[in-house]
Structure 1
Amino acid sequence: MIRVAVVDDHELFREGLVMVLNQMNDIEVNADFGSGQEFLKAIDDLDIDLVLMDINMEVMNGIETTQKLKAIKPEVKVIAVTMYTDDSYYLQMINAGAHGFVLKKAGKYELGQAIHEIHNGGNYFSQEILQKMALNAIAKPEETENKLSVREIEVLQLICKGHSTKEISEMLFLSHKTIEVHRSNILRKSGKKNVAQLVMWALKNNYATI
């Protein structure tokens, strides 16, 4: 069972989202909150795997809430939820520790897919959001001191498609440990801290396309 919390200051949307999530067989909403402050006050008593976090909230937005959450419980994964495809906060949300993005207009299937992929160690980006982020990232490619090997590029491309370490291991017929080594080397060479940042770096440097 995937234990989820919902943080969104729009009551009707939050209630609808909780209802949809509770209809999924292997997902359980343990709590929902109307603000980042309420969520953080309760965090020590929550037993959750993942949070659906609204970006645009008053007083404390999703970026600040995510940063504070990660300082307290870094193992809890965050899916950013927004109604905008032109939001200027995407990269800030990634840097705060978000593992993926879903638009508020997404359907039940896409929402479930995002939760499962991120819970299993992958990442997820709604296509509209990914396209917007990719366009913003198209500038001068970032130089990296150590070029990626052919195998590392292969692993990176699969990471960008949202596959987990386990899935990549099975697809490439390599051990889980070997994929983890490649993953660590890619992060080190790119200078990125997490998969979401890595996806944007890969797009910017033409290692992956959408």
Structure 2
Amino acid sequence: MIRVLLVDDHEMVRAGVSAFLSTQPDIEVVAEAADGQIGAKLALEHRPDVILMDLVMEPVDGVEGTRLIRAEWPEAKILVVTSFLDDEKVYPVIEAGAMSYVLKTASAFDIAEAIRKTASGQSVMAAQVTGKMMERLRKPASQLHDDLTEREQEVLQLMARGMANQEIADELFISLKTVKTHVSNILSKLDVVDRTQAVVYAFKHHIVK
């Protein structure tokens, strides 16, 4: 029996997925959560075979939820099930440790099969996600910053000026959490591991004013 944890902020989605999975003889839902933080807590408590993770949730999204789980349980098998395909979602959650990534437009039977494959250690990727990853691999390092949004470029500029996250939040009139999300996306898109490397990249490629 494949034990599954559902993490999605929409109760109706959880109810629908849970109802369908209950019809599968080899899959059972052991717990449900409405955001990434609760999902991480339940994941460590129940140790399910597969974690179905949505991405856009409040107060803790699926990317951070994936990081929290993998930090404490590196072997966790996380299957992202989402409606989003933008770069700000795909790259960070895969780099955070998600094993599989499928879209909510997939059929219920395809999602069930993705659960089975993920449980067995296979990575399942929507064709659109695979295409994005291949494009990313082919792109020269000098062009990585082309993927930055206008807001991420603004945040990078302020990082290069030595501003801390709270100072950036105050400067741009956005929340601290939003700044942290932008910084995470910047590191992911530039393929660097920390703020210092991001700033070095920015100066090296003349993208700071």
TM-score, structure 1 normalization:
0.62
**Is 1:86–1:132's contact at 8 Å kept on the other side of the alignment?**
no
Q: How far did 1:117 drift? A: 1.4
Question: Segments of 4+ in structure 1 off by > 6 A?
Answer: none
Q: How far did 1:62 drift? A: 0.7
What does residue 123 of structure 1 align with? 123
Report how many residues are paired.
142
The structure whose Rg is larger is: 2
Residue 50 in structure 1 maps to residue 50 in structure 2 = yes
Q: How far did 1:130 drift? A: 1.9
What does residue 140 of structure 2 align with? 140
Q: How far did 1:8 drift? A: 0.5
Matching of residues 188-207 of structure 1 within 5 Å? none
Distance 1:88 1:137, change over 3 A: farther
Distance 1:43 1:111, change over 3 A: closer
What does residue 79 of structure 1 align with? 79
- Give distance in 2, aligned partners of 1:83 and 1:44: 26
Q: How far did 1:7 drift? A: 0.2
**Is 1:30–1:48's contact at 8 Å kept on the other side of the alignment?**
yes
- Give distance in 2, aligned partners of 1:44 and 1:9: 19
What does residue 107 of structure 2 align with? 107
Give unmatched runs, 5+ long, in structure 1. Answer: 142-210
What does residue 8 of structure 1 align with? 8
- Give distance in 2, aligned partners of 1:99 and 1:113: 14
- Give distance in 2, aligned partners of 1:40 and 1:78: 11
Residue 18 in structure 1 maps to residue 18 in structure 2 = yes
TM-score, structure 2 normalization:
0.62
Q: How far did 1:96 drift? A: 0.7
Q: CA offsets, 1:25-59, max 9 Å, x none? A: 10110011111222233344314111000111122
**Is 2:44–2:69's contact at 8 Å kept on the other side of the alignment?**
no
- Give distance in 1, aligned partners of 2:76 and 2:70: 7
Give the fraction of aligned pairs with identical amino acids, expressed as a percent.
Answer: 35
Secondary structure of the equivalent of 2:17?
A: helix
**Is 1:36–1:65's contact at 8 Å kept on the other side of the alignment?**
yes
Q: How far did 1:93 drift? A: 0.7
Secondary structure of the equivalent of 1:30?
A: strand
- Give distance in 2, aligned partners of 1:42 and 1:121: 21
- Give distance in 2, aligned partners of 1:91 and 1:47: 25
Secondary structure of the equivalent of 1:125?
A: coil
Distance 1:121 1:41, change over 3 A: closer
- Give distance in 2, aligned partners of 1:70 and 1:82: 19
- Give distance in 2, aligned partners of 1:115 and 1:49: 9
Q: How far did 1:87 drift? A: 4.3
Secondary structure of the equivalent of 2:28?
A: strand
- Give distance in 1, aligned partners of 2:96 and 2:117: 19
* RMSD value, Cα: 2.0
What does residue 70 of structure 2 align with? 70
What does residue 91 of structure 1 align with? 91
Relative to structure 2, which stretch is displaced further, 123-132 or 57-66? 123-132
